[in-house]
Amino acid sequence: MENIKRARQRLQNYPSLLAKCSASAALYATCVTRDLNVKQNICEKEFIEFKRCLNEAAKRK
């Protein structure tokens, strides 16, 4: 039951974390939607930056 509470808390925090990382999220979204033929790892640099931002924002919260 504790796992469910922690998972719900993480999901509730996600919108505020996403707002703090809106710039890197926009760059990643732009990269992914740039081409109709999306290939694996084509936007890896942008994804890693977005993930790093989310992790840092979560640590601060």
Boundaries of every domain in the chain: 2-60
pLDDT at residue 56, as a whole number = 95
Question: Considering the entire predicted model, what is its pTM?
Answer: 0.80
Q: Whole-angstrom Cα distance, residue 24 to residue 32?
A: 12
> Mind listing the pLDDT tens digit of every residue in the chain (61 residues)?
888 888 898 888 889 999 999 999 999 999 999 988 888 899 999 999 999 999 999 998 7
pLDDT at residue 54, as a whole number = 95
Q: Whole-angstrom Cα distance, residue 30 to residue 22?
A: 12
pLDDT at residue 2, as a whole number = 87
